[in-house]
């Protein structure tokens, strides 16, 4: 079984940060096997952001899997899901994590960080289709990377920790309303020697006619 650890000693000081970590949810050998399989089989894509008339490649590769119709707009990019049948092992992970979190995950966003130059900038997963209090299970495979939170009201108020291969971070409650998160680039001197990491964020996408679709 995985262990559940408090993330920091004075956890109660951040009542709106509802985050737990399931350490070694996937044991080392399993995590390694899944990493290799996903790196090989996922149809990784380079998404391009169009901002101020410029085209900016986002600093990581991505892929989106989900039930049919579960499209997801992220940073202005509309993602059509790949079918779970393409990679049955992904569907197995979805089932395992849905059980562990007592929710029905119907989609997953995958990120491939090729080295320490790849990153995801500050953001909250607060799109309306995720509902007002999304439960998100975020799996880490491969290289250890830092995961940061910062308060939306005080950018100096931060919480950081290391994510190891096989760990699962579960964010829930009002976390996305009050906090942003990111995976920063690694220190410059080790950027190119930092190994690849795959992250999977399992999510529940609601349709626009579902009462949980957040119209606020
Ligand atoms: O790579 C991670 O651990 C986080 C990814 C993330 O924040 C996202 O995909 O929204």
| Residue 210 alpha carbon to ligand 1 centre in Å | 25
> What is d(CA 113, CA 118) in angstroms, rounded to the nearest whole number?
5
| Residue 120 alpha carbon to ligand 1 centre in Å | 7
What own/partner pairs with CB < 8 Å and gap ≥ 24 does 2-9 have? 2/168, 7/159, 7/161, 8/159, 8/161
Atom of ligand 1 nearest to the CA of 199: 1
Tens of pLDDT, residues 53-85: 999 999 999 999 999 888 877 667 777 899 999
Atom of ligand 1 nearest to the CA of 181: 7
> What is d(CA 29, CA 151) in angstroms, rounded to the nearest whole number?
36
The residue ranges of DSSP E strands in the chain, in sequence order, are: 3-5, 18-23, 48-51, 54-57, 61-66, 72-74, 77-79, 107-113, 120-123, 136-142, 145-151, 158-163, 168-172, 179-183, 197-203
> What is d(CA 113, CA 21) in angstroms, rounded to the nearest whole number?
20
The mean of the pLDDT values for the chain is 91
Ordered by where they begin, the domains of the chain are: 4-203 (2.60.120.590)
pTM of the model: 0.92
| Residue 139 alpha carbon to ligand 1 centre in Å | 9
Q: Tell me the percentage of the chain whose pLDDT exceeds 70.
A: 91
Lowest mean pLDDT among 3-12, 70-79, 132-141: 3-12
Q: Give me the half-sphere count of Cα atoms (radius 13 Å) on the Cβ side of residue 94.
A: 21
> What is d(CA 62, CA 120) in angstroms, rounded to the nearest whole number?
11
Tens of pLDDT, residues 185-211: 999 999 999 999 999 999 999 987 777
């Amino acid at each position: 079984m995985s262990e559940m650890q408090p993330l920091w000693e004075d956890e109660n000081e951040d009542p709106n940060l509802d985050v737990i970590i399931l350490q070694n949810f996937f044991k080392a050998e399993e995590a390694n096997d899944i990493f290799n399989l996903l790196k090989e089989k996922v149809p990784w894509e380079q998404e391009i952001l169009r901002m101020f008339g410029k085209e900016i490649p986002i600093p990581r590769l991505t892929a989106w899997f989900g039930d049919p119709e579960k499209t997801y707009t992220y940073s202005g990019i509309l993602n059509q899901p790949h079918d779970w049948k393409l990679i049955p092992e992904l569907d197995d992970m979805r089932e395992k994590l849905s059980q562990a979190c007592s929710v029905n995950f119907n989609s997953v966003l995958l990120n491939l960080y090729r080295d320490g130059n790849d990153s995801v900038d500050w953001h909250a997963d607060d799109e309306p289709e995720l509902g007002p209090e999304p439960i998100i299970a975020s799996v880490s495979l491969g290289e250890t990377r830092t995961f940061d939170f910062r308060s939306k009201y005080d950018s100096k108020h931060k919480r950081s920790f290391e994510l190891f291969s096989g760990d699962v971070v579960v964010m829930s409650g009002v976390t996305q309303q009050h906090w942003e998160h990111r995976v920063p680039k690694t220190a410059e001197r080790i950027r190119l020697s930092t190994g690849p990491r795959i992250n999977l964020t399992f999510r529940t996408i609601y349709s626009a006619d579902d009462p949980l679709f957040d119209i606020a």
